[in-house]
Structures are given as structure tokens and as C-alpha cells.
């Protein structure tokens, strides 16, 4: 009869089984850990890259100066082009009214400087190369190549039920008209849409530099 090799009192075959079983256990644990890590949200509520749930009281009045929200790196605007004033109006190529609430990313679409609201001129202005934008983020003057980018926005009630979401038209989040029962808005800074390239507003006014 052939002798069976043994290691520490167990056969060679049993030893290999144990090694194989241990390897599978380690692989399964690593795989499970990776899956859990992928499923966990990358950013917490209230952290840039994640969501921000804010009371509607924070919103500015219609066509009033925007609300700065530094933690989320966005401006909140509330616009209605059917009630024009020096901050917001309807341009010749805008066929439908622009109405509702939007969260606008605070980074200039030219080379990424932080622009600001310039109250004296009733518009956003970039200090780096002079791009200018209307209250809703549309370009007034270049060199910015496009309208300001926006974040996804939802209207919520007191129980965090979603009442309405920003419509995405040609890949860009439209301003959202809030249903009357809205008490909160949720902005997802992990879901940003690039602004469209549109005719400069200064071209309509024949006032481009
Ligand atoms: S980065 Fe704003 S105009 Fe150049």
C-alpha cells in the first residue's frame, strides 16, 4: 500500500483543502467589503459633492439678488422673465418664459475662477477675464464659452417627499417652479450639468466689447 504524505498529522489532500478554503474566505471577505464600499454614498449630506436640503425661506424673492450658499458652492436664484426688471428679463431668442428656482455652480465656465454677484451692475461678474452673466446664469459677455453650470434640484414637502424635480432639457437643468406645498429644496452637488452655449446677451443689446 502506498504511503500518504502528511503535514502536522493531516494528509496532504486535507492540507490543500484547508488552504483553498481559507483563500476563498479571504476573497469573499474582500469582495463583500468592496461591494459595501461602492454602495455607500461618497459624500455626506451637507458636504460638497453630496446633497444639501435647505428650507425654502433661504430662497431670494423673484428676480431679487441671488442667495450665496458657500458650503455647497452654489448660488440660489429665483427668476421669472415675465416680471422683468434690471436683473432678469426675456431675451429675443428665448421663446418660453424662464421661471423658477435654480442652483448655479460658483465657478466661471471660462477658466474656473470664482465669480461673484456685482450688485452695482445687477449681474454676476468674473474678476479674472471679465465674463458676465445674467441672474439666471446666461452669458452676457465672453470669454466664457457657455452659460453657468447648474446642479440638480428637487422640491420636497415636510416629510421629505419629492414633489418635483428640475427638468433636464438638452442636458441642462431648467429652473424649477416649486409646487405650493414645497417647504424644502434639495440640491445635489454631485449632479452638475454644463450650461449651454447661447448667443451673448450683449449681442442683442449691441453692446459687446
Ligand atoms: S475665468 Fe472667468 S472670465 Fe476667465
Over range 149-163, report the average pLDDT.
98
Q: Is 110 in the pocket of ligand 1 (CB under 6 A)?
A: yes
Q: Ligand 1: which of 111, 132, 142, 149 to mutate, judged by most atoms within 8 Å of the beta carbon? A: 111
Question: What is the Rg, in whole angstroms, of the alpha carbon atoms belonging to the chain?
Answer: 27
Nearest CA to ligand 1 atom 1: 111
Q: How far apart are CA 204 and CA 183, in angstroms?
A: 38
Helix boundaries (H) for 40-135? none
- pLDDT of 209 above 70: yes
Confidence of residue 31 (pLDDT cuts 50, 70, 90): confident
135 Cβ inside 6 Å of ligand 1: no
pLDDT of 30 strictly over 50:
yes
Q: Tell me how far apart the alpha carbons of residues 13 and 19 are, in angstroms, rounded to a whole number.
A: 10
- pTM as predicted: 0.82
CA angle 9, 12, 16 (to 5 degrees): 115
pLDDT confidence of residue 1: 46
Q: Where are the alpha helices (DSSP H) in the chain?
A: 12-39, 201-204
Would the CB of 128 count as within 6 Å of ligand 1? Answer: yes
Give the mean pLDDT of 189-207: 93
On average, the pLDDT of the chain sits at 91
Task: Tell me the per-residue pLDDT of 98-120, one tens digit each, with 9 for 90 and over.
Answer: 999 999 999 999 999 999 999 99
Please indicate whether residue 108, judged by its CB atom, sits closer than 6 Å to ligand 1: yes
What mean pLDDT is predicted for residues 48-64? 97
Amino acid at each position: 500500500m502506498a504511503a500518504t504524505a502528511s503535514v502536522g498529522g493531516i494528509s496532504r489532500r486535507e492540507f490543500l483543502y484547508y488552504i483553498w478554503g481559507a483563500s476563498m474566505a479571504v476573497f469573499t471577505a474582500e469582495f463583500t467589503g468592496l461591494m459595501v464600499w461602492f454602495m455607500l454614498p461618497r459624500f455626506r449630506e451637507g458636504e460638497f459633492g453630496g446633497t444639501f436640503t435647505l428650507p425654502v425661506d433661504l430662497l431670494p424673492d423673484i428676480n431679487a439678488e441671488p442667495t450665496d450658499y458657500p458650503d455647497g458652492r452654489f448660488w440660489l436664484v429665483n427668476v421669472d422673465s415675465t416680471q422683468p426688471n434690471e436683473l432678469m428679463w426675456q431675451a429675443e431668442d428665448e421663446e418660453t418664459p424662464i421661471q423658477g428656482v435654480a442652483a448655479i455652480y460658483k465657478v466661471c465656465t471660462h477658466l474656473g475662477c470664482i465669480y461673484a454677484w456685482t450688485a452695482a451692475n445687477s449681474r454676476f461678474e468674473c474678476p479674472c477675464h471679465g465674463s458676465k452673466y445674467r441672474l439666471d446664469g446666461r452669458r452676457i459677455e465672453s470669454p466664457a464659452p457657455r452659460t453657468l453650470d447648474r446642479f440638480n434640484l428637487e422640491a420636497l414637502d415636510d416629510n421629505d417627499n419629492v414633489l418635483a424635480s428640475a427638468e433636464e432639457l438638452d442636458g441642462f437643468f431648467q429652473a424649477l417652479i416649486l409646487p405650493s406645498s414645497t417647504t424644502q429644496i434639495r440640491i445635489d452637488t454631485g449632479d452638475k450639468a454644463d450650461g449651454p452655449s447661447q448667443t451673448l446677451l450683449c449681442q442683442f443689446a449691441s453692446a459687446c466689447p
